[in-house]
A and B are shown apart, each in its own frame.
Chain A
């Protein structure tokens, strides 16, 4: 079965950038435009191998989505991709259960590294 990656970002452009990087891999890329959408995808049966998650989003925001993802799927790798690169924010994300934190805009090498660490590349 083809494995999937869930990309959660309120910006269409940020999702486009991530999809472009992920293009060469045998992975189904599923998009969500908010934390709420991401959780709804899981409720609908999506079982991703990896999540790329933005933090600064309307609604519940990325951090709350991360905590909820972690509660529902403790072993799911969740890579936070954020423009907010303050030490305190990164620390907060890691404490909330992020597997790692990448700065925006996501760069190919960093994304490939995250895929490799998740066993997807």
Chain B
């Protein structure tokens, strides 16, 4: 694979780009919900695709019930983005954004789903678009897909087919002040996307030196 090795500096560059993208998403969300989003330092790692499901499961305390918003992005920077929200946290977000009391015992209704998808759209769009823009690319998106269920291999493999190669995982955790909602964002690039990303980051770094 062309882009399977990122050195420390290149990973730091990706982390910084992700940081900027997530900052934009947080600003949009805070305007929308009128509350402060607390950002954490993002982590960027290369994970073998075959180990992605167990990697993700290890990142969460209780993988039993999650909402997943997945969106494919196309461009030179190409791949899938995932926003993972524990189901209960998704309901809290709905309450904050739509001002509705969600019934914890009933399945998500269409308004609740739409709200979570919209939140996913904002976060994914801001992060992916900003990373692409800073590296000189323009991406387009496929409509987001929504799923809910246990965050297990079966759920994840609906989106990321197991195979050889590496996935670039950019993970960030966000908290909404006062309500302490948390979620995870992952970007998994395709092989060609990863190769382009490495070249773009190298050339960006050259411009800084």
CA distance A52 to B80 in the complex (A): 35
Interface string of A10-25 (1 = CB under 8 A from B): 1111101100100000
Contacts of A39 in B (CB 8 A): none
Known: A83-B19, A83-B22, A89-B36. A13 touches B30 (CB 8 A): no
Closest residue of B by beta carbon distance from A54: B19
Main secondary structure of the interface of B (DSSP, over half): helix
CA distance A88 to B23 in the complex (A): 13
CA distance A88 to B9 in the complex (A): 31
B173 to chain A, nearest CB (A): 12
Q: Are A10 and B41 interface neighbours, CB within 8 A?
A: yes
CA distance A105 to B24 in the complex (A): 11
Closest residue of B by beta carbon distance from A19: B208
Closest residue of A by beta carbon distance from B22: A83
CA distance A46 to B144 in the complex (A): 51
Contacts of B39 in A (CB 8 A): 56, 83-84
CA distance A14 to B204 in the complex (A): 12
Closest residue of A by beta carbon distance from B19: A83
Q: Are A12 and B12 interface neighbours, CB within 8 A?
A: yes
Q: Are B20 and A83 interface neighbours, CB within 8 A?
A: yes
Q: Are A104 and B19 interface neighbours, CB within 8 A?
A: yes
Interface residue total, chain A, C-beta cutoff 8 A = 22
Contacts of B21 in A (CB 8 A): 83
Interface residues of A in 5-50 (CB under 8 A from B): 10-14, 16-17, 20
Asked if B198 CB lies within 8 Å of chain A CBs, one says: no
Asked if A113 CB lies within 8 Å of chain B CBs, one says: no
Asked if B40 CB lies within 8 Å of chain A CBs, one says: yes
Asked if B26 CB lies within 8 Å of chain A CBs, one says: yes
Contacts of A12 in B (CB 8 A): 9, 12
Closest residue of A by beta carbon distance from B8: A12
Q: Are B30 and A86 interface neighbours, CB within 8 A?
A: yes
Interface string of B33-51 (1 = CB under 8 A from A): 0001101110000000000
13 contacts between A and B (CB under 8 A): A11-B19, A13-B13, A13-B208, A14-B16, A83-B24, A84-B23, A84-B26, A84-B27, A85-B27, A86-B26, A86-B36, A86-B37, A89-B36
Measured CB to CB, the residues of A under 8 A from B are 10-14, 16-17, 20, 56-58, 82-89, 103-105
What 10 pairs across the A-B complex have the smallest Cβ distances? A83-B23, A88-B36, A11-B16, A86-B30, A16-B208, A13-B13, A83-B20, A83-B19, A13-B16, A85-B27
